A and B are shown apart, each in its own frame.
Chain A
Amino acid sequence: MNSFEYANPNTVEEAVALLASEWDETEVLAGGTDLVTSMKQWVAAPKRVVSLKNIKDLQGIEADEKQVRIGAMATLAELIENEHIQKHYPALITAARGVGSSQIINQGTVGGDLCQRPRCWYYRAGLGLLAQQNGKSLVKDGDNRYHAIFGNDGPAYFVNPSSLAPALIALGATITVQGPQGKSREIKAGEFFQTPKSESEREYGLQPNEILTHVTVPISNLKNATYEVRERQGLDWPLVAAAVAFNLDGETASDVRVVLGHVAPVPWDVPSAAKALDGKNVTEESAAECGETAATGAKPLSQNGYKAQLVRVAVKRAVLAATGKPMET
C-alpha cells in the first residue's frame, strides 16, 4: 500500500473535518476488512485514513419499544449476538451469519458492510468501478458469471456486495449520515444506494466528507427472513440472496417487501414480487409465484442466466422461511 497519514479522531465532528471533499483523497477506516485489502492491492490509495475506532457515538446497539439503533461501528458479531436483533430480525441474523468467516464477522462492522466496495473482478483488478476500456464495458464481452442481471443497462454491471442491505431495506430501516458542520441527514435504506454513472461517483449516496453514523430499524411484527444461495458453505459470497418481510394475518400476507442481493448494482427492491404475494395465503405455490415474479424482467448477460433461476428459488425459500416453515435443504 501507499504511505498515508493516519488519523484517529474521538468524535464524529473531528472525523468529518478530517475528510476531504473529493472521493479517493481520504478514506474512512472501520474494521478494515475491505479497505485494507483494497489498499494492499492499490485499488484504494488514500492520502489520509480516518479511523472511526475511538468514536463512542458510533458503537453499540440500543433498543426501545419502537426501534433498534445500530451504531455504524457495531460489529457483525455484535449484531448476531444481540437479543433484540435475534428477536425481531431473523433476516439480519441470517445475512450477517452468511458472511461465513469468524474473523470477518468479528472484525467487520455494520457501517463497513453497507459501504464496502463491489467485488467485481475487473474493479478489483484496477480496471475501474465501471470496468470500461476505450469507452466499452469489459463486463459485457468478458466473464460476467457473477455480475448483474437487473439494473444492468449500463454503465455499471457490478453487483452490490452488502448482505445486510437487502434485509435492512425490507425491514424499512433508515440510515443516518453526518457531514460537515454537524449536519446530519436521514436516508431510507432503500434510497441509500445508487448506480454510478461515471467513475467519479460511488455506489452509495454519501458525500466524500460524510460518515454513516447509525442505522435505525423500526420494531414491527413483520415476519422476515433472508435466503442466500452459496456455492461454498465456508467463506464465500452469495450468488443471489433474497430478503423478505411481510405482515402475516392468519395465513394471509400483507405489507410485503421483497429485496434481492447480488443481482444488481444496488440492492434490488422488487415491488412487483411483493404485490404478487400481497393479500394471498402464504403457501408453496404463492411463494413460488412470488419468486417467479421477482425473476421476471431479468436481463442476464452472456454467462449469468442461472441467476434468474436462483432469484426464483431464493425468494420462494425466503418467503417460506419467514413464516417459520423453512424448506429443509
Chain B
Amino acid sequence: MASTAWPKPDQRQLLGKRFDRLDGPAKASGTAKYTHDTNLPNMLFAKALWAPHGAAKVSGIDVSAAKAVNGVAQVWSVEPGTEVNYAGTLVAVVAASTEEIAREAVNKIKVEYEVLPHNVDDRDPAKVSGEPSKKEVPDAAGVDEAFKSAEVVSEGYYGASPITHCCLEAHGQAAEFRGGDLYVWATTQNVSGYAGSVTDAAGVPASQVHVECQYMGGGFGSKFGADQWGQICVQLAKQTGKPVKFMLDRDQELMIAGARPSVYGKVRVAAKKDGTVTGWDSDMLASGGKGGGKAPDMPYVFTGVPVIRNVSRGVPVNRGSQRAWRAPGHPQNCLITMSALEDMAAKLGMDALEFFMKNLQYTGRPDVYRDELTKAAEMIDYGSKAHPRGDPTAGPIKRGLGMALHQWGGGGHGSNCDLTVNPDGSVDAKIGTQDLGTGTRTVIGIVVAETLGIPLERVKVNIGSNAYPNDGASGGSTTVGGVSSSARDAATQALNIVLDKVTPELGVPVDRLVARDGKIFDADNPSKSMTWEKACSLLGQMPINTKGSKDPKDGTKLTESGVGGVQMADVSVDIETGVARINEMVAVQDCGLIVNLKTAESQVYGGMIMGITYALYEEAIYDPVTGRMLNPDMEFYKLAGLADVGKLKVHMMTGPGYDDRGVIGLGEPPVISPGAAISNAIANAIGVRVPIMPFTPDRVLAALGKGGAVA
C-alpha cells in the first residue's frame, strides 16, 4: 500500500521543484476572468454615494431625481436617522444600465446631514477611551524593580501609521437570480463559506446560493464575506430581476474596505551590559476605528524576556474599520519590538547581529533563528558592510544595515478534496478553495501528480466554487497546508485502488509497486511495469472517486504549524533630502515542506515588496477638518514601483529539520519583517531613529532635526 505520508527526499519527483503557475498564461493573456470582468446579458451596474463627513446623522435623503434618470432601474438608500461613523459610509446605491448613467444618477441624490464632531487623530493620548489593557510579568512591583535595578535602560517612541489593503481588484461582486437560485461571482478569500453572508439579503437558503471565484486580485485579509456592498448587490438583483454588478470604486475601496490598525507608543528596554535583555515595558495607543483598538502583546518573537509590562489604550477614530491585514498585528509588533531592541544594541555600542544572537534564548526556536540569521548575514555580506550606528563616511548619502525576526503559525485549515481517476487515466481534483494569486491551483496539481506519479499536465484542478467539497477560508496562511493534505489523502487512496488492480496483472506484491514517471513498476525490478493509462484501464468502465481530508483517516499528519524568518535590509538615506532607498533586501524563511519552490519564493518576494511599500510610502491620510481620507487614490496612496524595491534575495530553509515537518503556510510571514528591518537600517545609516512609519522624507528630516524652515 502506498503511504499517505509525504515521500522521503530521494523519492520526491515534483515536490520542492519550480513550476510556473497553471493559470499564468490565462492571467498574462487576459483570458482569466475576474469578478470585475463578469459581464452578463442585461446586466445592471451599481454605483454608490458615500458620506463625506467623519461623523454625521443622515437627516434627510431624496433619491427621486436619481430614480427619474433614464436607464436607472433601482436605488438603495439608507433611512433618515442613520448614523455615519466615518467618511465613505455608503448612503445610496444606484443600479442602472450603464456605469455612466449610474454615476450621473448618484450625483442627483440629495442628502442632508447633521454633521457631528469627529476625531481622526490616533496619536493624541487625550483621546483615549475605555479602560486600558494591562499585562505585567511577574507583577507591577517586579517590573518596577527590574527597571530600577537594570544595568542599562533604553527608551524610545515608535509607531506605525494606518494603511489599507489596497487590493488591486476592488471589493465587489456580480449577482443574478436564475430559477429561484442565486448565482454570485465574488472576489473572496472564502468561496466555501461565502453563501451564508448573502442568504438574508437573498431570502433563499445557502443550498440555493452558488458562489464562484476563479481568479481574484488580492484580499490580504479584507475579503471574506459579502459585506454590506455585496448584500446590497443581491438585494438590487432580486428587486430588478436582472444581474447586477457592484464593484467599489478605488476611493471607496480605500476608505471602507478595511485598514490595518495604527499603533504608537513608548517603550523601555532593560538589559545587562553584556547585552542580555532583562525587561520590556511598553505603553501603546492603538487605533482600528470607531471601536478603538488594542496593541499586540509585546515584545515580539523574544517572548521569553523575563520581565514584561504591556499597557495598551484604545483611541476611537472616525475612519473605516480595521480588518485583518496580512499577519494581523505582527508587522506593527515586529517594527516596535525590533526597533526598541536595536536601539538598546546601539546604546550598548553592540553590533545588532551579535545582540539579537545573544538573546535568542528568549525565542521559541533559537536554533532556527540562529541558522537563519547566519544565512541572511552571509547573503547580505554583513561582515564587510556592517558598521556601528551612524555611517561615518563623508557626503550626504548614508548607508546602513538592519534586521528583524518574525514568526507565524500557518498550520493547514480544514480541507476536503474529491478526486476522480478516469479509466483513460485522466485525473480531476475538486476543492472548494480559492487561488488568491499565490499559486494554490498549481500546488494542488503538484501534490496530486506527485502522488500518482504522473505529469502535472494530466491533473485537472477545479477550485473557486462552493459546488466543490468545502475548504477553509484563505486567511492566516492556512491554505497550502490544508489543500496539500486533502489532495495527498485523496490521491493516495485513489492510487491504492489502482495498485490493487495492477498487483495481479504484474504479479508483484502491492508493497513493491511504485507510481512514477507515468508508470507503475516493481521497485525491485523496474522493467516489470505498466503505463498509468494501462493501469487505469483496469478500472473497467467506471471512474473511481475518493474523498480526502486535511486529517486523513489513517492518522497521517501532513501539515505543521510554526515558522520563523529573518530579513535584512541594506538602505541608503540622503540626509539632506530625507529620501531613503532600498539597495538590497534578503529574506530567509522556513515553511516546512515546500511544494512549489518558485511560488514559495514569489510569495516571499511579494511580501518584501509589500513591506517596502508600507515601510517607505504607504499611509492612509485623514483630514482633521473634514474627517475624510485625503488620499483615496493610487496617486497619493503611494505603493512602491519596480524602481523602488532594490535588489531582493530569497532563501528558503529546506532539508532535514524543515521538510520533515510537513507543509506549512507562507502567506503572511514574509510581510512581517520589512518595516522593522528597514527602520533599523535607516537608524544604522543616519545615526538616529525615525520613530514613525512610513519613513518618508519629512519624517526622516524631522528625526535629523532638519524639518524646520528658515526663520
Interface residues of A (CB under 8 A from B): 1-3, 42, 119, 121-122, 124-125, 127, 133, 138, 141-143, 145-146, 149, 229-236, 239, 292, 295-300, 303-306, 308-310, 312-313, 327-329
Contact = CB atoms under 8 A, between A and B. Distances in A.
A298 B710 contact: yes
A125 B628 contact: yes
9 contacts: A1-B103, A3-B104, A138-B626, A145-B621, A145-B698, A231-B617, A235-B641, A306-B706, A310-B578
Interface string B1-34: 0000000000000000000000000000000000
B626 A133 contact: yes
Contacts of B353: none
Given A143-B623, A232-B617, A309 B707 contact: yes
Given A133-B625, A229-B697, A233-B644, A329 B710 contact: no
A233 B710 contact: no
B398 to A, nearest CB: 11
A233 B708 contact: no
Interface string B603-639: 0000000000000110001111110101101011010
Contacts of A303: 698
Contact of A231 (B576, B697, B702): B697
B645 to A, nearest CB: 10
A310 B697 contact: yes
Nearest to B624: A142
Given A231-B579, A231-B617, A306-B578, A299 B709 contact: yes
B616 to A, nearest CB: 8
B100 A329 contact: no
SS class of chain A's interface: helix, strand, loop or mixed?
Answer: loop
SS class of chain B's interface: helix, strand, loop or mixed?
Answer: loop
A303 B635 CA distance: 19
A142 B625 contact: yes
Contacts of B576: 309, 312-313
A121 B631 contact: yes
Contacts of A127: 626
B574 interface: yes
B710 A141 contact: no
Contacts of B621: 143, 145
Instruction: Pick the most buried of A122, A231, A303, A329: most chain B CB atoms within 10 A of its CB.
Output: A231
* 4 nearest A-B pairs in the assembled complex, by CB-CB distance: A234-B641, A233-B643, A308-B709, A306-B698
A128 B636 CA distance: 18
Contacts of A234: 640-644
Contacts of A235: 641
A59 to B, nearest CB: 29
Contacts of A296: 710
Contacts of B626: 127, 133, 138, 142
B706 A309 contact: yes
Contact of B710 (A121, A142, A297, A328): A297
B317 to A, nearest CB: 14
A133 B623 CA distance: 13
A119 B636 CA distance: 10
Nearest to B630: A121
B432 to A, nearest CB: 38
A230 B702 CA distance: 17
Interface in B557-586: 574, 576-579, 581
Contacts of A309: 576-578, 701, 706-708
A119 B633 CA distance: 12
Nearest to B626: A138
B546 to A, nearest CB: 50
A149 to B, nearest CB: 7
Given A121-B630, A233-B644, A234-B641, A306 B702 contact: yes
A65 B251 CA distance: 50
B247 to A, nearest CB: 15
A57 to B, nearest CB: 33
B350 to A, nearest CB: 31
A149 B709 contact: yes
B641 A232 contact: yes
Interface string B215-246: 00000000000000000000000000000000
B696 interface: yes
A151 B106 CA distance: 38
B107 interface: yes
A304 B702 CA distance: 11
A303 B644 CA distance: 25
A2 to B, nearest CB: 6
Contacts of A308: 708-710
Contact of B697 (A297, A299, A306, A329): A306
A230 B103 CA distance: 35
Contact of B579 (A122, A142, A229): A229
Contact of B107 (A42, A236, A299, A327): A42
B625 A141 contact: yes
B142 interface: no
Contact of B625 (A138, A299, A304): A138
A124 B250 CA distance: 14
B509 interface: no
Contacts of A1: 100, 103
A26 to B, nearest CB: 19
Contacts of B640: 232, 234
Contacts of B579: 229-231
A72 to B, nearest CB: 24
A308 to B, nearest CB: 4
B201 interface: no
A233 B623 contact: no
A233 B698 CA distance: 16
A125 B623 CA distance: 12
A298 to B, nearest CB: 5
Contacts of B643: 232-234
Contacts of B698: 145, 303-304, 306
Nearest to A2: B104
B396 interface: yes
Nearest to B580: A231
Instruction: Pick the most buried of B579, B581, B628, B638: most chain A CB atoms within 10 A of its CB.
Output: B579
Contacts of B642: 234
A12 B623 CA distance: 43
B710 A143 contact: no
Nearest to B636: A121
B206 interface: no
A305 B707 contact: yes
Given A232-B638, A306-B578, A310-B577, A239 B709 contact: no
Interface string B363-401: 000000000000000000000000000000001110000
A305 B641 contact: no
Contacts of A327: 396
Nearest to A146: B636
Contacts of A299: 709
Contact of A125 (B577, B581, B630): B630
Nearest to B708: A305
A60 B626 CA distance: 45
Contacts of B702: 306
Contacts of A149: 709
Interface string B687-711: 0000000001110011000111110
Instruction: Pick the most buried of A138, A230, A304: most chain B CB atoms within 10 A of its CB.
Output: A138
Contacts of A121: 630-631, 636
A305 B100 CA distance: 42
Contacts of B574: 329
Contacts of B581: 233
A234 B646 CA distance: 12
Given A234-B641, A306-B697, A313-B577, A138 B623 contact: yes
A138 B622 CA distance: 13
Given A125-B628, A138-B625, A143-B623, A231 B710 contact: no
Contacts of B395: 328
A234 B644 CA distance: 7
A295 B574 CA distance: 19
Nearest to B622: A143
